Structure 1
Amino acid sequence: MSNTNLDVAVCVVGAGPVGATLACRLGAAGLPVAIVDRAALPPMEHPDFDGRAYAIAASSRRLLEAAGVWSHLPLPSCPIEGIRVSDGKPGQPASPLFLHFDHHEVGEPFGWMTEARSLRVALNATLHAMPAIVVAAPTEASVTRTDQAAIVRTTDGRTIRAQLVVAAEGRESPLRRQAGIAVTRFGYRQAGLVCAIAHTKPHHNHALEHFLPGGPFAQLPMAPTEGAPHLSAIVWSERDAVARKLMALDDTHYANEIQRRLGSHLGDIRLVGRRWLYPLSALHAHSYVATRLALIGDAAHGIHPIAGQGLNLGFRDVEALAGLLTEAHAGGTDLGDPELLRRYQAARRPANLAMLAATDLLDRLFSNDNPALRLVRDLGIAGVHRMPRLRRAFMTAAMGGGRS
């Protein structure tokens, strides 16, 4: 396409799960939207299973339903109906002091495990199905922002005029850097290990969060896939050097290391799909907004995965920003209005900063083998288990705020 001029309300740069969901949510509300990404976004694709999955909180599912995405998922999602929280060491029985969350106490599952490939297919299909959305991909974008408008020029010849540009390009956001927005960063000297396992016993839709000296170890229930009637995602953290050694193991020995941490309650296990390694760090932007610009998702914040809330925080950004933009559009307000953007920042930045602080504290408290701290956290876990009102408060927070 060449020499095409477009006028839209919002241009989203970055079509990852958060940026694409925002475009779909705005498109579903009738706002004219453009989404730009350097990668191709075919409406239909059939990638192989690769072991990656997302924990979609209850509030995030409602957002995806409102955006028209959930109904396009080509593969079933698995509800998370129970979560067991425990403490221990690899190869040893877990502490007898534990915390159990049961979905019956809150009336719905805590969330749903959705394969990454399934969400990608659903997002791409929804983007192409909505008449209010223009997809510009694959292409590179350059953005000029003024008090009057934002102009996005793409390498495939489009000129897009928008009231607001949304940066959703991830942690190294070029738009954030171009706007001169500073970030605070710190590393954890840990790496995240991600894979999927098939096991011989059913998981009964229950998840495990097991705190170990090297970092948290999570088993998350997944829907069956071909050749694996009982399937779970594994996400765990280790010190960098240990993680590199683990990744060098063959599949059999790697599975043995998972079994040492998981225990025997799911029976024998084997790896399914690929293994992944991610360095762990945190960042937070000093501002979420600039002239005709808003940051969402990883462009604005990144946290330790200890609580599994990274993507869901991005979805909460989408929910807040989409609500404000939809209301403003209906009232004829300029979507780049500085007061509107300040309201978005006030709604999301303090909450995200609080979650960053909480996950950082949890990692420091649980990712160590100090006997005194182990006793304190074991007693804390057991204490919450015995306090129904506090337990329900934790469950509601994990769900993203419960029912809306």
Structure 2
Amino acid sequence: MLHKSEECTMLDLLVVGGGYVGLSVAVAIKQAAPHMAIEVVEAAPAEVWKKDVRASAIIAAATKMLEIFGVWDEIEPDAQPINRMIVTDSKASDPVRPVFLTFDGEVEEGRPFAHMIPNVSMVAALRNACERLGVPIRHGVRATGFRDTGPSAELTLSDGSVIASRLVVACDGVRSKLRDLAGIKTVSWDYGQSGIVTTVEHERPHEGMAEEHFLPAGPFAILPLKGNRSSLVWTERTADADRMVAADDLMFEAELERRFGHKLGQIRASEDRRAYPLGLTLARAFVAPRLALAGDAAHGIHPISGQGLNLGFKDVAALAETIVDADRLGLDIGSMNVLERYQIWRRFDTFRMGVTTDVLNRLFSNDITPVRVMRDFGLGVVDRMPRLKNFFIREAAGTSNAGAPKLLAGYPI
């Protein structure tokens, strides 16, 4: 249904944002509805994604969706299964960190509850899928104007071009320009914390074990990567995080070693370390006429649960199923009647996760003795109740919800 006039390009679906969520939206819908004209526009230059040294935790339900996309075989050689997880609660100076909670990593036969995947591997596989499906990706252009014209939306880009589309999907991050252009408000606050992200090489193998240490300044997560390497998400008060990132390698590794410990032998941190401010941002609406928000454009949460990207993948699965079902019924995919189904499907789950991460961060990012005693008691109780632990792990893996979108259950749309 693509055609060009003297004024603008006409599409069925325009995705703004070429990260994992935006690319996944394009792949999911184009795979199920090949007749649709779909395009992705991305503000970043063409090769910038190759410089991303970070890794992400991908839950079991999301790996099922990637299998349906036909990209998991390409990603899996670089993916590290998380076979076990432990949770501790202590001070950085404590010589011994008692383990209060442990999780075994398998939710189904042969399927761990999560994998750690290098971001470049995931983006490369999704970009290859877009190429196979005939979805073009335009780089170096950003949205500067958005207008609902009735039968379509018109998006003005920074290069002066105009694209009309029956539906526009905003996947352009927590500071979404497109969300602002559409007049969608947010609820947000800053935690006064920043997450230091880096990679560590260590002497001994991690054996696929992830660790979450609750320290007074915030959680310190050690997440296994392929080989003797781990990805760190280290939460500190913003001023301290900025100071540590700016410190020389010797001082940074000394502070890191106090928190990381010696269980994996000698450690060496990557020179590439960055601090990202942490906060909570929830869009007041996930849809507007001819527009849907997905991923961080709809919600930005604290990384304490490792669910931020996975919430985005849940958006992808729900939105794709909503749009494809409507198209097969001959409905207008950009109408509010159709988009409201997506909003209802995703809004409560997102709000619940946002509140949960907010409460957990406030509960564990302090050293108030009575609070610490209560939370450690609660962790210990959960650890001694196998059924409750199994419920939590299946929730985290995204495999417990009978009403989940088809893609997350491993079925094509």
Normalising by structure 2, we get a TM-score of 0.90
Partner of 2:331: 333
Partner of 2:89: 87
Equivalent position SS for 1:73: helix
Question: Could you tell me which of 35, 43, 51 is aligned with 1:38?
Answer: 43
Q: For structure 2, list consecutive stretches of 5 or more residues without a partner in the other structure.
A: 401-407
Partner of 2:263: 265
Tell which deviates more after alignment, 394-403 or 3-12.
Answer: 3-12
Distance 1:85 1:74 in 2: 26
Q: CA deviation at 1:155?
A: 5.1
Q: CA deviation at 1:71?
A: 3.5
Partner of 1:276: 274
Distance 2:163 2:98 in 1: 60
Q: Deviations over 1:242-294 (max 9, x none)?
A: 21221232222212222211222111100125101001111111111111111
Root-mean-square deviation over aligned CA pairs = 2.2
Distance 1:398 1:273 in 2: 31
Work out whether 1:178 is the aligned partner of 2:181. Answer: yes
Question: Could you tell me which of 184, 187, 190 is aligned with 1:187?
Answer: 190
Partner of 1:367: 365
Question: Could you tell me which of 355, 358, 382 is aligned with 1:357?
Answer: 355
Tell which deviates more after alignment, 362-371 or 242-251.
Answer: 242-251
Q: Deviations over 1:331-361 (max 9, x none)?
A: 2111012111111111111110110100000
Q: CA deviation at 1:379?
A: 1.0
Partner of 1:384: 382
Q: Deviations over 1:156-204 (max 9, x none)?
A: 5754332111111112212211221111110101110110000011000
Distance 2:39 2:158 in 1: 15
Distance 1:161 1:134 in 2: 15
**1:88–1:212 CA contact under 8 A, matched in 2:** yes
> Given the superposition, is the C-alpha separation of residues 312 and 378 from structure 1 closer, same or farther in structure 2, using an over 3 Å criterion?
same
Equivalent position SS for 1:98: strand
- Equivalent position amino acid for 1:161 in 2: A
Tell which deviates more after alignment, 168-177 or 65-74.
Answer: 65-74
**1:99–1:381 CA contact under 8 A, matched in 2:** yes
The percent identity for this pair of structures is 41
- Equivalent position amino acid for 1:58 in 2: A
Distance 1:270 1:291 in 2: 51
**2:146–2:181 CA contact under 8 A, matched in 1:** no
Work out whether 1:348 is the aligned partner of 2:335. Answer: no
Distance 1:304 1:2 in 2: 45
Q: CA deviation at 1:106?
A: 4.7
Partner of 1:164: 167
Distance 2:108 2:376 in 1: 24
**1:212–1:367 CA contact under 8 A, matched in 2:** yes
> Given the superposition, is the C-alpha separation of residues 3 and 206 from structure 1 closer, same or farther in structure 2, using an over 3 Å criterion?
farther
Distance 2:187 2:343 in 1: 17
**1:25–1:68 CA contact under 8 A, matched in 2:** no
**1:51–1:233 CA contact under 8 A, matched in 2:** no
Question: Could you tell me which of 100, 103, 107 is aligned with 2:102?
Answer: 100
**2:86–2:102 CA contact under 8 A, matched in 1:** yes
**1:51–1:275 CA contact under 8 A, matched in 2:** no
**2:249–2:271 CA contact under 8 A, matched in 1:** no
Equivalent position SS for 2:11: strand
Question: Could you tell me which of 278, 283, 286 is aligned with 2:284?
Answer: 286
Partner of 1:203: 206
Normalising by structure 1, we get a TM-score of 0.92
Question: Could you tell me which of 301, 304, 307 is aligned with 2:305?
Answer: 307
Q: CA deviation at 1:317?
A: 0.6
Aligned residues: 395
Question: Could you tell me which of 238, 241, 246 is aligned with 1:240?
Answer: 238
Work out whether 1:148 is the aligned partner of 2:151. Answer: yes
Q: CA deviation at 1:136?
A: 2.4
**2:107–2:394 CA contact under 8 A, matched in 1:** no
**1:4–1:157 CA contact under 8 A, matched in 2:** no
- Equivalent position amino acid for 1:248 in 2: A
Equivalent position SS for 2:40: strand
Equivalent position SS for 1:101: strand
Partner of 1:396: 394
Tell which deviates more after alignment, 307-316 or 73-82.
Answer: 73-82
**1:149–1:162 CA contact under 8 A, matched in 2:** yes
Partner of 2:251: 253
Distance 1:69 1:129 in 2: 11
Partner of 1:109: 112
Distance 2:8 2:72 in 1: 32
Distance 2:273 2:116 in 1: 18
- Equivalent position amino acid for 1:209 in 2: E
- Equivalent position amino acid for 2:244 in 1: L
Equivalent position SS for 1:151: strand
Q: Deviations over 1:270-326 (max 9, x none)?
A: 012510100111111111111111111111111111111111111111110001111
Partner of 1:227: none
> Given the superposition, is the C-alpha separation of residues 189 and 322 from structure 1 closer, same or farther in structure 2, using an over 3 Å criterion?
same
Distance 1:152 1:176 in 2: 12
Q: CA deviation at 1:74?
A: 8.6
Tell which deviates more after alignment, 146-155 or 300-309.
Answer: 146-155
Partner of 2:79: 77
Tell which deviates more after alignment, 70-79 or 167-176.
Answer: 70-79
